[in-house]
């Protein structure tokens, strides 16, 4: 799976949009971009994923650059409950009989400030 | 509601003892995974299973063992051979095909005294 690079920490004012960047310059054509978050001492929570088109769901938006070498997760109106570590992961969608695993790095610790 | 249940949430054991962490899912997922997380670190894959009665080692399988006798269950045993067992353990599952999401349990925190 392609390696990702994320800033170790970010701050965001409550009510403002939080934009979390991720670099994945070695991503392959069949690899998806996934975002998860982990609130302290809980299991990670899936947020969103995409291949090349921008995606939006009830939690967030995912913007992937045209060359697919980087992406941005957008939380449109951050709340205090969004304070968590956010993980950006890239991997193939399905590898048949092989592994189907996600490699988590250290992520970005997002602090939403009142 | 469907989900993944891990137990116990907290576990204390003496050094040299084997411990088994339970993971049960009622999502009808084929694939299940065990991850380990140390403070300030990301997740590292211990073992995974694509189907019943089959499982593969992940990146840090030494000192751990698993079984997959039922689709719903994927218990992890931390053996005395694991040199640094104190950690936060996470179980996860997914449908098994396609680029779907990984569902996680709430984790089990093991402390070896």
Tens-digit pLDDT profile for residues A65-102: 999 999 999 999 999 999 999 999 987 765 543 445 66
Query: Nearest residue of A to residue B96 by CA position?
Result: A100
Residue A97 is classified by DSSP as T
Let me know how long chain B is.
Answer: 113
Three-state DSSP at A83 gives: coil
Q: What is the 3-state secondary structure (H, E, C) of chain B?
A: CCCEEEECCEEEECCCCCEEEEEEECCCCCEEEEEEECCCCCEEEEEEECCCCCCEECCCCCCEEECCCECCECCEEECCCCCCCCEEEEEEEECCCCCCCCEECCCEEEEEC
Query: Does A7 contact chain B (CB < 8 Å)?
Result: no
The residues, any chain, with a CB within 8 Å of residue A43's CB and separated by 6 or more, are B4, B90, B92, B104, B105, B106, B107
**Residue A97, pLDDT score:** 39
pLDDT in tens, B57-96: 988 999 999 999 999 999 999 998 888 999 999 999 987 6
**Residues B105, B2: Cα–Cα separation, whole Å:** 11
Q: Is the pLDDT of residue A28 over 80?
A: yes
Query: Does B95 contact chain A (CB < 8 Å)?
Result: no
Which B residues, 14 through 43, put their C-beta within 8 Å of a C-beta on chain A?
31, 33, 35, 40-43
pLDDT in tens, B7-53: 999 999 998 899 999 999 999 988 899 999 998 778 888 998 988 99
Cβ within 8 Å, pair A101-B48: yes
Q: Which residue has the tokens 């694939």?
A: B31
Which A residues, 20 through 79, put their C-beta within 8 Å of a C-beta on chain B?
32, 34, 36, 41-46, 49, 51
Cβ within 8 Å, pair A43-B48: no
Query: Does B55 contact chain A (CB < 8 Å)?
Result: no
Q: Which residue has the tokens 């403002």?
A: A16
Cβ within 8 Å, pair B104-A99: no
Query: Does A100 contact chain B (CB < 8 Å)?
Result: yes
Is omega for the bond preceding B8 within 30 degrees of 0, making it cis? yes
For residue A94, give the nearest of B40, B97, B106 by CB distance.
Answer: B97
pLDDT-derived band at B98 (thresholds 50, 70, 90) equals low
Query: Does B88 contact chain A (CB < 8 Å)?
Result: yes
Cβ within 8 Å, pair B90-A43: yes
For residues A16 and B15, the answer to whether their CB atoms sit within 8 Å is no
For residues B47 and B55, the answer to whether their CB atoms sit within 8 Å is yes
**Residues B65, B87: Cα–Cα separation, whole Å:** 16
Q: Would you state the structure tokens that stand for residue B29, as one six-digit string?
A: 């997922």
């Amino acid at each position: 799976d392609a390696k990702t690079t994320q800033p170790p920490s970010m701050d965001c004012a409550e009510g403002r949009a939080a934009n979390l960047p991720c670099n994945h310059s070695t991503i392959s054509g069949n690899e998806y971009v996934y975002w998860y978050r982990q609130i302290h001492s809980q299991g990670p929570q899936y947020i969103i994923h995409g291949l090349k088109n921008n995606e939006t769901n009830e939690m967030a938006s995912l913007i992937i650059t045209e060359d697919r070498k980087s992406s941005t997760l957008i939380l449109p109106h951050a709340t205090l409950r969004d304070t968590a570590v956010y993980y950006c992961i890239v991997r193939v969608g399905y590898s048949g009989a092989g592994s189907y695993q996600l490699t988590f790095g250290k992520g970005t610790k997002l602090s939403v400030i009142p | 509601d469907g989900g993944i249940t891990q137990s116990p949430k907290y576990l204390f054991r003496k050094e040299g003892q084997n411990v088994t962490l339970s993971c049960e899912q009622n999502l009808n997922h084929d694939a299940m995974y065990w991850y380990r997380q140390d403070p300030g670190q990301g997740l590292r894959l211990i073992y995974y299973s694509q189907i019943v009665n089959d499982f593969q080692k992940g990146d840090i399988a030494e000192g751990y063992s698993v079984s997959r006798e039922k689709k719903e269950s994927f218990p992890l045993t931390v053996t005395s051979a694991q040199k640094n067992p104190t950690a936060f353990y996470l179980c996860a599952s997914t449908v098994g095909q396609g680029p779907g999401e990984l569902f996680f349990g709430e984790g089990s925190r093991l402390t070896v005294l």
